[in-house]
A and B are shown apart, each in its own frame.
Chain A
Amino acid sequence: MNRWPFLILLLLIVPLFVTGCWDSKELNSLSIISATSIDRERDHWVVTFQVIIPQAIATQTGGGGAGSQSPTTIFSTNGRTIREAMQNASLETSRMLFFAHNSILILSEKVAREEGVGQILDFFLRPFESRETMSILLTKGKASDLLEVLIPLEKISGNAVKRVIDQSQRNLSQVQNIKLIDFAARVADPNASAMVPELQVSGNLKGQSSLDALKSPRNEAVIKLGELGVFRRDKLVGWLNGEESRGVAWLSNRVKNLIIVYPCSAKGGERDSLSSFRVLKSSTKLSSEIQGGKVTMKVQINARGVLDETGCKMDLSNPRVIAEQQRIIAKEINGEVVSTWNRLRTIETDAPGFLDVIHREHPDAWKKLAQSKHPLDEITIRPQIRVNIEHTDMINKPYSTLLEQNKRP
């Protein structure tokens, strides 16, 4: 009989304890941030936000007006700490900054090299509304410039960049989408080092940051993914170019979809005739061996794929020819792996996590290595690469052989 007053009382008390994602805010009082960048100017953090202007994007209400307004707006604030910079943002915005939909965080090279990412990670891991799934990117110039570039086909450029990363990660294994949470984990891991893709603008930045740019079919400037920044602890130590980032992908067993371009013969004889091999499935196994105090990493790569394109003249129905092709491809991969390893040794980062493997398999050897000043110099690698061309797609013989036949009569 007297349950109801009690229940209502309970209903009123319970919410006091369930705080958290709480506090009502109307949709039209929010600034939805799609991308954030962090720069460093003297002793100040410069935080730049890309804020979505909803009316400019969802044009169906109000009817028309598409293209008359920029889909996003950008503003920068600075402060001695990142939080202070954000606090200062409220001096110039009419609305509350809303971070839950921030999809990318761009750090400038200067910040990553000189300041380190420790404080930035601390700041972004702390508040409940920031997403751990935002992608981390580096840029060599001023990070805020990237937020200004308008991307054709896309309204929200922050989301677009995230999609570029996702898409190229699927089609090109050398690119890796690194989320905030993974980045933080890699930075903290003593046996591994974080790698972050670089985002760059190629072309005339000024031209592409005005709405008029979207009116012409050819873009003045484009945003694209470039090299791969490598971290040691929380600081950026170097860049890996395209070939080297592929090598890292091979070493760290991340290859899912990759094109390998290789010459017709191992000697490289015929000029301008190249073939493409598309990796469909690949696995890399790392194992360590200790021989007389010397550490050797065995890198077993097993790649299977398709011959996708060829300009060479050869009989692909002959198994020997295929075997020859496989050898050339293996040599190509071997070259990438070895040159990458040499590069990694010079910048002293253990991106593929070799030390981790040694730690697991030979703890004693690892202890010795860990005390060494340059542990990577004491490791040699021995790649063992097996390539398997599974098929040659819809045609067997190269098309160029057909041309040869036509010449004869």
Chain B
Amino acid sequence: MRLFTKNKQSGNPQPEACTQRSAESPAAETKLTGNLDDDLRIIKERTGGSSDLIIRLIDSMFGKELRIAVIYIEGLVNEQVMNSSVMPSLTAKDFIDPHHLAAPSEVLGMIKNRFLSISNVKDVHSLDEVLSAVLAGNTAILVSGATLGISASTAGGEQRGVNEPQSETVIRGPREGFTENLRTNTALIRRKIRNPDLWIESRKIGRISQTEVAVMYLRGIANDKVVQEILQRLDRIDTDSILESGYIEEFIQDEAFSPFPTMTNTERPDAIAGALLEGKVAILVDGSPFVLLAPVTIFKLFQSSEDYYQKFDIATFLRLLRVISFVVSMLLPSLYIAITTFHQQILPTTLLVSLAAQREGVPFPAFVEALAMEITFDVLREAGVRMPRAIGSAISIVGALVLGQAAVQAGLVSAAMVIIVAFTAIAGFVAPSVSISNSARILRFGFMILAGTLGLFGIMAGLIALLIHLCGLRSFGIPYLLPLAPFIPADQKDAFVRVPWWAMLRRPTLIGKKNPKREKKFQKPSPPKNKN
């Protein structure tokens, strides 16, 4: 662990071979020279003459005295905006007074203030700024002789539309999901919370990739210390690229070596909006539809956003079901091993006889059998995720028939074990968050080894160690087992159970304590009082 922290801290000053030097070379500091040919030559050099960099030169009747360069990257800009807004304004007839050669800065001012029909326009002073603007999908406009240019916001190009999220489907609730575009994502959240207090702090992380990362929170509800802590941790990241929010998660999470996630992620804007209103902080990463959420407690991982849209009674039932399923998916194979190899006396006789009959002729000990079957299932699962869609049916046939049915008939595996593994697997999919089902998936093997060596005692010892670990875990300063340990009676309303909305009076105590009041009291619907 120390090894990692050392790297993180000392990463900055050390020259690293993997990062590109050219982007940060002294040339980056160059101001625009004012000599358009030189500037354009440097830009071409810096981009290696890449074919998608388009430089369009517009001549005027003054020849070399007054030329305008439009620089953009094909594919990153919205072609329609380019053709309908940028280019017409620069080629307009009355744009340049033929009788009077205006100063370059004057021309730029005219373009910016009078002609360019683009709303978001900025001045750029250095070549570096020009490049980063162009790489972000903007269009740079340079005028010969001027030591400053214009960057017009023309970002666009091909993007995936807002679709229903693949990883978190709901029966009732909004069907929209985040996309790979950061701005679309922030807009999706803003559409749900129309409040100026919804603040966004942006960072560019990744020396090469220059990925935009946005931290979103509700001012006045989110804990300022948590926001500051998240921003600080983000600022500490010094890496070449951030391609997915998973990079950020591993860099800033509290406990690097815990099977439990101390941050969660979601594809659903409504889940993020709900969390922001509880005082949590969202971290959006450009290029990833998975938005990070912190701080998180273990109960949050058992909650689906649908819980808040369905009636509270079924929501409560489902939450309990998910907790039970989590325990089942973590412990069922190990309990089976422990009971059938150590504690046969605790089974009813008929069940014992039935299990014994199934194990008759099985060549391996129960532990090996369970381990093999669990690994087989994980192989099947991984294959199901990776393989091309078209072969999907083949894997289910091979998995279900060959490995299940045939293995039992051949006497390699007992039927009970197949049932156990199958139920364990299905219970693992109940968890609404993939990260928590993955922790059960890993811990399952640990518990199986404990059960195979020490029986129920091993399982108990493992559970105690796990509990100790969970009690010590913090997510950005918030205890992971909140509201169970420390026990907060008021917060039980949204842990195992979900009380009706009219009873959800306060926000979670530690997370949203700045502004705890959530709604007016006494809103329980009741029949109107008949005064006649």
Selected contact of B349 from candidates A18, A25, A103, CB within 8 Å: A103
Residues of B within 8 Å of A156, CB to CB, are 349-350, 353
User: Is B452 within 8 A of A27, CB to CB?
Assistant: no
Complex CA–CA separation, A129 to B346 (angstroms): 11
Query: Cβ of B355 < 8 Å from any Cβ of A?
Result: yes
A101 at interface, CB cutoff 8 A: yes
B341-361 interface code vs A (CB 8 A; 1 in, 0 out) = 111110001101111111111
Taking a contact as CB atoms under 8 Å apart, the answer to whether A26 and B366 are in contact is yes
Please determine whether A101 and B349 come into contact, CB atoms closer than 8 angstroms. Answer: yes
A156 to B354 CA separation, bound complex (whole angstroms): 12
A28 near B356: Cβ-Cβ < 8 Å: yes
In chain B, positions 447-497 with a C-beta closer than 8 Å to chain A are: 452, 454-455, 457-458, 461-462, 465, 468, 472
Quote the shortest CB–CB distance from A316 to chain B (angstroms): 46
**Contact (A21, B340) CB under 8 Å given A7-B465, A28-B359:** no
Query: When A98-B344, A101-B352 are in contact, do A15 and B360 touch as well, CB less than 8 Å?
Result: no
Q: Which of B1, B353, B465, B468 is the one whose CB lies under 8 Å from A58?
A: B353
Within 8 A of B (CB), among A54-78: 54-55, 57-58, 61
- Count B-side interface residues using an 8 Å CB cutoff: 35
Residue-wise interface mask of B (117-151) relative to A, using a CB-CB cutoff of 8 A (1 in contact, 0 not): 00000000000000000000000000000000000
Q: A101 near B358 (CB under 8 angstroms)?
A: no
B353: contacting residue among A11, A18, A32, CB under 8 A:
A32
With CB as the reference atom, state the residue of chain B lying closest to A162. B349
Contact A61 B357 (CB under 8 A): yes
Task: Flag whether B415 is at the interface (Cβ < 8 A).
Answer: yes
Task: Knowing A26-B366, A27-B340, A55-B357, say if A11 contacts B345 (CB, 8 Å).
Answer: no
Q: Are A24 and B452 in contact (CB under 8 A)?
A: yes
Q: Tell me if B162 counts as interface (CB < 8 A to partner A).
A: no
B356 near A54 with CB under 8 A, answer yes
Q: What is the 8 Å Cβ interface bit string for chain A, positions 9-32, against chain B (1 contact, 0 not)? A: 001001100100111111110101
Q: Are B465 and A30 in contact (CB under 8 A)?
A: no
In the complex formed, the residue of A with least CB distance to B1 is: A1
B365 at the interface (CB under 8 A from A): yes
Cα distance A227–B195 in the bound complex, in angstroms: 88
Residue of B nearest to A19 (CB): B457
B70 interface hit (Cβ, 8 Å): no
Collect the chain A residues with CB atoms within 8 Å of residue B360's CB.
Answer: 28, 54-55, 61
Give the CA-CA distance A131 to B344 in the complex, in Å: 13
Q: Is B82 an interface residue (CB 8 A)?
A: no
Does the CB pair A22–B457 fall under 8 Å?
yes
B238 CB to nearest chain A CB (Å): 24
List, in ascending order, chain A residues with CB within 8 A of B355's CB: 27
Count of A-B residue pairs with CB < 8 Å: 93
Residue-wise interface mask of B (387-426) relative to A, using a CB-CB cutoff of 8 A (1 in contact, 0 not): 0000000000000000000001000001100000000000
**Known interface pairs A24-B452, A25-B341, A34-B349; A61-B366 also in contact (CB < 8 Å):** no
Give the chain A neighbours of B1 by CB distance below 8 A: 1
Taking the closest CB of chain B, its distance from the CB of A101, in whole angstroms, is 5
- What residues of chain B lie closer than 8 Å to A34, measured between beta carbons? 349
If A11-B465, A18-B457, A61-B415 touch, whether A24 touches B342 (CB-CB below 8 Å) is yes
A102: min CB distance to chain B, Å: 9
Q: CB-nearest residue of chain A relative to B341?
A: A24
In the bound complex, what is the Cα–Cα distance between A331 and B359 (angstroms)? 60
- B465 CB contacts on chain A under 8 angstroms: 7, 11
Nearest residue, chain B, Cβ from A11: B461
Give the residue among A24, A26, A57 with the most B Cβ atoms within 10 A. Answer: A24
Would you give the shortest CB distance from A29 to chain B, in whole angstroms? Answer: 9
Interface size on A, residues (CB 8 A): 32
| Docked complex Cα distance between A52 and B343 (Å) | 18
**CA gap between A205 and B207 in the complex, in Å:** 91
* B359, B414, B468, B472: most-surrounded residue (chain A CB, <10 A): B359
Check B365–A26 contact: CB distance below 8 A.
yes
Question: B362 at the A/B interface (Cβ < 8 Å)?
Answer: yes
Instruction: Tell yes or no: A159 within 8 A of B by CB.
Output: yes
**Which B residues touch A101, using CB under 8 A?**
344-345, 349, 352
Least CB distance, B351 to chain A, in whole angstroms: 10
Residues of B within 8 A of A164 (CB): none
Question: Within the complex, what minimum Cβ distance (angstroms) separates B418 from chain A?
Answer: 12
The verdict on A100 contacting chain B, using a C-beta distance below 8 Å, is yes
Contacts of A100 in B (CB 8 A): 344-345
Smallest CB–CB gap between B363 and chain A, Å?
10
Q: Are A26 and B457 touching (Cβ within 8 A)? A: no
Contact residues in B for A55 (Cβ distance below 8 Å): 357, 360
CA distance A103 to B452 in the complex (A): 28
Q: With a CB–CB cut-off of 8 A, which chain A residues contact B461? A: 11, 14-15
Q: What residues on B are CB-neighbors of A11 within 8 Å?
A: 461-462, 465
State how many angstroms separate the Cβ of A327 from the closest Cβ of chain B: 48
Is B344 within 8 A of A30, CB to CB?
yes
CB-nearest residue of chain A to B358: A61
Q: Nearest-CB distance from A158 to chain B (Å)?
A: 9
Q: Which residue of A22, A61, A101, A156 has the most chain B CB atoms within 10 A of its CB atom?
A: A61
User: Which of B344, B357, B359 has the most C-beta atoms of chain A within 10 angstroms of its own C-beta?
Assistant: B357
Assuming the A-B contacts A7-B465, A34-B349, A159-B349, are A26 and B359 also in contact, with contact meaning beta carbons closer than 8 angstroms in the complex? yes
Interface bits B300-330 vs A (CB < 8 Å: 1, else 0) = 0000000000000000000000000000000
The answer to whether B357 and A54 touch across the interface, beta carbons within 8 angstroms, is yes
Please report the C-alpha to C-alpha distance between residue A23 and residue B452 in the assembled complex, in whole angstroms.
Answer: 10
B341 engages A27 (CB within 8 Å) = yes
CB A98 to nearest CB in B, in angstroms, measures: 7
Contact check, A27 vs B366: say whether CB atoms are below 8 A apart: yes
Taken together as a complex, chains A and B put the C-alpha atoms of A159 and B345 apart, in Å, by 15
Judge whether A129 and B345 touch: CB under 8 Å. yes
C-alpha spacing A32/B357, complex, angstroms = 11
Q: Which residues of B contact A3 (CB under 8 A)?
A: 472
Within 8 A of B (CB), among A73-112: 98, 100-101, 103
Interface string of B170-191 (1 = CB under 8 A from A): 0000000000000000000000
- CB-CB under 8 A from B458, the residues of chain A are 15
Whether A54 pairs with B353 at a CB distance below 8 angstroms is yes
Contact B455–A54 (Cβ < 8 Å): no
Q: Do A28 and B345 touch (CB < 8 A)?
A: no
Given contacts A11-B461, A129-B345, contact A27 B454 (CB under 8 A): no
Listed from nearest, the 9 A-B pairs whose CB atoms lie closest are A100-B345, A58-B357, A54-B357, A54-B356, A24-B341, A27-B359, A58-B354, A27-B356, A101-B349
Subset of 9 A-B contacts with CB under 8 Å: A15-B454, A18-B457, A21-B343, A27-B340, A54-B353, A61-B415, A100-B344, A103-B349, A156-B349
Name B residues whose Cβ lies closer than 8 Å to a Cβ of A. Answer: 1, 340-345, 349-350, 352-362, 365-366, 408, 414-415, 452, 454-455, 457-458, 461-462, 465, 468, 472
- For the complex with contacts A30-B356, A55-B360, 14 further pairs of A-B residues with Cβ separation under 8 Å are A11-B462, A11-B465, A22-B454, A24-B452, A25-B344, A26-B340, A27-B340, A27-B359, A55-B357, A57-B353, A61-B360, A100-B344, A100-B345, A101-B344
